[in-house]
Amino acid sequence: MENSRYAVGIDLGGTFIKFALVAETGEISFTSKLSIGASATRDDILATIRKAIELTIANATQNGISVSGIGIGSPGVCCEGIVVGGADNLNGWVDVHLSEIFSAEFKLPVLIDNDANVMGLGEAVYGAAKDCSDVIFLTVGTGIGGAIVADGKLYGGYKNRGTEMGHVTIDHKGIACNCGGRGCLEAYASTAALLRRYAEVSGKNESELDGFYLVQKFKEGEEAAVKCMEEHTDYLGHGIAGFINTFAPQKVVIGGGISESGQFYMDMIKKSAMSYAMPDCAANTDVVGATLGNQAGCLGAASLIFKNC
């Protein structure tokens, strides 16, 4: 792809930083990761990002590739090149002027956005919702994160502080949520909530359970596992129906480890979502699994450059 542009895609997580050299076609020609220790300071994290960028650009240079820019997905609220705050799993990760720091050092455009947002953008540009302009992305894990792609662009609300898709209320008098609210989708439909409920219903020890075990028991037809999976997908469907009624997306893309359990999982969520959504809003909507796995972050981060530079 001689004419393709290339960008560095950085996916900053709580324990690892993943990085890749990405062609505009979506091809990854180099990728690696570096670990971030639990005690890493703000300067340690910045040094690790710097190393990741240096390694990627060195690889590009070796192969005669010139880089058009650097895209970074970071935990927290990201606005105008700055991580404002909200990244609870990274020490001191507040008011970090990422774009300014690295564009000055590498003489390249540096664009940043929230990690879940760039994953959603990655799926919309290269993955399960390729060629779709209007997409809702949800990642179901310990929590529930998400992204909105509207008319081909990430939509984050004023100052990019919105799209906390896990924190819409599905039970107004419901259980307390990590966000300080009550009855949020995340409190009912995250994998953590699913395992907690399964432990309660089955009488098994929660500390010995994980998603793989539960899915196995579901496939074996175990009564408690079937009941809990039905509840879980029903909750998710409720939340998704609200997103469908508001945004009329072409695709709702579900990511996170549990989304890789099998087609049955997507079928159950879709059935539930479609049963609650308004038919006119859902007329062009499909509910599908994410396809980029753990590469979504780097691909989406790089696509910030391709879309905006």
Identify which of 167, 140, 130 has the alpha carbon closest to the alpha carbon of residue 229: 140
| E strand spans, 115-180 | 135-140, 144-150, 153-155
Give the separation between CA 107 and CA 66, rounded to whole angstroms.
12
Give the separation between CA 7 and CA 106, rounded to whole angstroms.
13
Q: Residue 19 or residue 243: which is nearer to Zn ion going by CB?
A: 243
CB of 164 to Zn ion, least distance (A): 8
Q: Residue 58 or residue 179: which is nearer to Zn ion going by CB?
A: 179
Name the amino acid, one letter, at 112: I
Q: Residue 5 or residue 167: which is nearer to Zn ion going by CB?
A: 167
Instruction: Tell me which residues in 163-192 interact with Zn ion (CB under 5 A).
Output: 167, 177, 179, 181, 184
Q: Residue 154 or residue 177: which is nearer to Zn ion going by CB?
A: 177
Name the amino acid, one letter, at 234: D
Give the separation between CA 146 and CA 195, rounded to whole angstroms.
21
CB of 190 to Zn ion, least distance (A): 10
CB of 147 to Zn ion, least distance (A): 17
Torsion of CA 218, 221, 225, 229, to 10 degrees: 60
Give the separation between CA 235 and CA 92, rounded to whole angstroms.
35
Q: Residue 110 or residue 184: which is nearer to Zn ion going by CB?
A: 184
Give the separation between CA 134 and CA 204, rounded to whole angstroms.
41
CB of 35 to Zn ion, least distance (A): 29
Give the separation between CA 262 and CA 258, rounded to whole angstroms.
9
CB of 187 to Zn ion, least distance (A): 6
Q: Residue 167 or residue 217: which is nearer to Zn ion going by CB?
A: 167
How many binding residues for Zn ion (CB under 5 A)? Answer: 5
Q: Please give the distance of CA 179 from its chain centroid, rounded to a whole number.
A: 18
Do residues 175 and 183 touch, judged by C-beta distance below 8 A? yes
Do residues 14 and 76 touch, judged by C-beta distance below 8 A? no
Instruction: Tell me which residues in 196-215 interact with Zn ion (CB under 5 A).
Output: none
Neighbours of 273 (CB within 10 A): 24
Q: Residue 126 or residue 188: which is nearer to Zn ion going by CB?
A: 188
CB of 294 to Zn ion, least distance (A): 25
Q: Residue 86 or residue 181: which is nearer to Zn ion going by CB?
A: 181
CB of 193 to Zn ion, least distance (A): 11
CB of 186 to Zn ion, least distance (A): 5
CA angle in degrees (0–180, nearest 5) for 159-161-95: 75
CB of 260 to Zn ion, least distance (A): 25
CA atoms within 13 A on the CB side of 175: 10
**Could you say whether residue 141 binds Zn ion (CB under 5 A)?**
no
Give the separation between CA 72 and CA 90, rounded to whole angstroms.
15
Q: Residue 167 or residue 270: which is nearer to Zn ion going by CB?
A: 167
Query: In the complex, which residues of this chain contact Zn ion (CB under 5 A)?
Result: 167, 177, 179, 181, 184
